[in-house]
Each structure stands twice: as structure tokens, then as C-alpha cells.
Amino acid sequence: MTNISFDDEMGRIQRALAQSHDLVVRRNTVIETLNLQTGEKVLELGCGGGSYAFEAAQFVGPTGQVSAIDISADQIAAARERCARFAWVECQIGNLLDLPYQDGEFNAVYSVQVLEYAGDLGKAFREIHRVLRDGGRFVNLSTNWSSCVWYSENKERMRRVLDGWSAHETHRDLPTILAGELRKSGLQLLRQRAVPIVNTSMGESSFSYWISKIIPGYVVGRGAVSKDEADAWAAEFAELDQRGEYFFSLTPVLAEAIRIS
Ligand SMILES: C[S@@+](CC[C@H](N)C(=O)[O-])C[C@H]1O[C@@H](n2cnc3c(N)ncnc32)[C@H](O)[C@@H]1O
């Protein structure tokens, strides 16, 4: 079950977030790890607005192929527009739990902040295993939201907001269970490493600026805090920033695996 939808305003904010300094750094790290070669066929799960597919297309070139799938029609419309110049990028609406691709079709599959929203994780990994060829690479980035340290003078309110927010993912702290899930599906984990985010000021180039725009609507909608509390929670960041006391940190984890059978 998906706990959050990336259509409409949520999709718009997610695509703005993708252009933040923190996520440009993340994108470079993921793309470097994928090590794409000319002519390779690569699949992106949950492509959002297509910023990764746009980069991947330039590495595989016209003799390669980038297939990108997302469950949100809004996100796919944005991804098609972003990648329009590359005839070898194909973006389609679909569910990663039921991939519309042939067995062994891809040299590499990758997903960034997506599998935590998938319902049946075992099925997701079986599908990834099925569409990868032997020796094919899988790269995933997911966040342990339990690692979030976000300074507030009202610690109790911050705790309730972050507890409410943690429900937005079906699989919380996915990196902590990834190795076992990969192994069960026939994918061999090679390594995991942190791609941390630290924000000491709050502006549009920071990850936490955009996340702070998404969180209030979600936690108020779930009844985790009142609208007044959520407004006060958001307003505190500008005050802290002005005093030079703003602090946010989070530990997303990048995993590399290969298909071994
Ligand atoms: C947090 S966004 C990440 C987008 C993109 N990977 C990025 O990092 O910019 C999560 C994306 O996963 C998509 N998604 C969620 N569940 C999905 C599913 N079961 N199948 C395909 N896409 C899914 C959402 O629609 C959304 O675009």
C-alpha cells in the first residue's frame, strides 16, 4: 500500500526538491555508482520528474536505452518533458511490483527513495531480479528517517511531527532490512554507504527547506499535530536560521548489489 501520493502539489514540491543542492550531490553519487556504459540498457524505478533518467541517457547514449517507470501520471508527464530530447528514453506509467519488461532485459536497475513506498517488498525484489541479466547491477538509495536530527527548542513538538512523518513510508528505515531482502531474491549486496545530508541554514538549495513544506500537510492530515502546532513548527526554522542556529541532519544509505543467479 502507498501511504503518500506524488501527484499534484506533492509532485511539484518533490521535483523542486530534486533540484536542491543536496539532491544534485546525491544524484551525482548514484550516477557515479551505477557506472553506466555506452549502449547499456538501464531501468529506473519510481523516476519522479526524470532528473536521473536525464543524466543516465547521456551515459548510455543512443545505442543504449533508459526505461523509466512511475506510478504517478503527473510524474511521468514531467519526466517525458524533461527527457524529450532523448529518443532512447522511454517513460511509462506503471507499478514496480508488476514490471512490464522482459526477463533479463537490463544491465542495471536503480531506484532512489522509492522502494520504501512499495507494498510487497519481496515481490519488488523478485521483479528486479527477473528483469536483470546475470551479473546485472542494482543500485538503491533509501533513507533511515530514524537518523533524522532536526534542532528545535520545542523537542516534544518536533518528536510528534517526526513520529507522524515516519508513517509516510510503508517500509520505515528500509536500509536496515535491505541485505536480507536482497539475499532472499537472489541479489548479492556488495556494499552500503551513507550519503549524508547536513543543513546549517535553510534555503531553497537545502533538502530540509523542501521537506519542511511537505511535512505539515501530511502530519496535520493524519492528526499527529494540530494545524496551529504545524505552523509554529515551520515558523521556528526561520527564527533559528536568522540567529544562525539552524541544524538538520539525515543519513540516506546507498546500496550496490548484483544478480548472482
Ligand atoms: C520520493 S519520490 C522519488 C522520485 C525520484 N526517484 C527522485 O529521487 O527524484 C518517489 C517516487 O516513487 C513513485 N512510486 C511510489 N510507489 C511506486 C510504485 N509502486 N511503482 C512505481 N512508482 C512508485 C512515486 O510516484 C514518486 O514519483
For residue 1, what pLDDT is reported? 43
**Under 8 Å between Cβ of 216 and 231:** yes
pLDDT in tens, 156-167: 999 999 999 999
For residue 15, what pLDDT is reported? 85
Ligand 1 centroid from CA 222, angstroms: 21
Residue 131 lies inside a defined structural domain of this protein? yes
pLDDT in tens, 234-254: 999 999 999 999 999 999 999
Query: Is the CB of 114 inside a 6 Å radius of any atom of ligand 1?
Result: yes
Pocket perturbation via mutation, ligand 1, pick of 47, 52, 114 by most ligand atoms within 8 A of CB: 114
Query: Is the CB of 48 inside a 6 Å radius of any atom of ligand 1?
Result: yes
For residue 46, what pLDDT is reported? 98
Query: Is the CB of 251 inside a 6 Å radius of any atom of ligand 1?
Result: no
Ligand 1 centroid from CA 245, angstroms: 33
Of ligand 1's listed atoms, the one at least distance from the Cα of 44 is: 6
Residue 229 lies inside a defined structural domain of this protein? no
Residue 51 lies inside a defined structural domain of this protein? yes
For residue 3, what pLDDT is reported? 72
Q: Tell me the C-alpha distance between 3 and 5, whole Å.
A: 7
Alpha carbon 6 to its chain centroid, in Å, reads: 12
Residue 240 lies inside a defined structural domain of this protein? no
Alpha carbon 156 to its chain centroid, in Å, reads: 28
**Residue 179 burial (10 A CB sphere; 0-12, 13-18, 19+):** middle
For residue 8, what pLDDT is reported? 79
Q: Whose CA is nearest to atom 12 of ligand 1?
A: 46
For residue 215, what pLDDT is reported? 95
Instruction: For residue 133, give the CATH number of its domain.
Output: 3.40.50.150
Range(s) of the domain holding residue 28: 8-144+169-197+250-259
CA angle 166, 27, 216 (to 5 degrees): 30
* Ranges in the chain, pLDDT < 50: 1
Q: Tell me the C-alpha distance between 93 and 105, whole Å.
A: 18
Determine which helix (DSSP H) or strand (DSSP E) holds 87, and give its type and residue range.
none
Those residues with Cβ within 8 angstroms of residue 223's Cβ, 6 or more apart along the chain or in another chain: none
Q: Please state the pTM of the whole predicted model.
A: 0.94
Domain count, the chain: 1
Angstrom distances, CA of residue 238 to CA of 27, 161, 244:
27, 17, 10
Residue 203 lies inside a defined structural domain of this protein? no
DSSP label of 187: E
Determine which helix (DSSP H) or strand (DSSP E) holds 178, and give its type and residue range.
helix 178-184
Alpha carbon 16 to its chain centroid, in Å, reads: 13
Alpha carbon distance, N-terminus to C-terminus of the chain: 29
Looking at the DSSP bridge assignments, the partners of residue 41 are 65
Residue 33 lies inside a defined structural domain of this protein? yes
- E-assigned strands of 94-217? 106-112, 132-150, 187-194, 197-199
Ligand 1 centroid from CA 243, angstroms: 36
Residue 213 lies inside a defined structural domain of this protein? no
For residue 254, what pLDDT is reported? 98
DSSP label of 64: S
Residue 161 lies inside a defined structural domain of this protein? no
Residue tagged 556488495 (cell numbers):
190
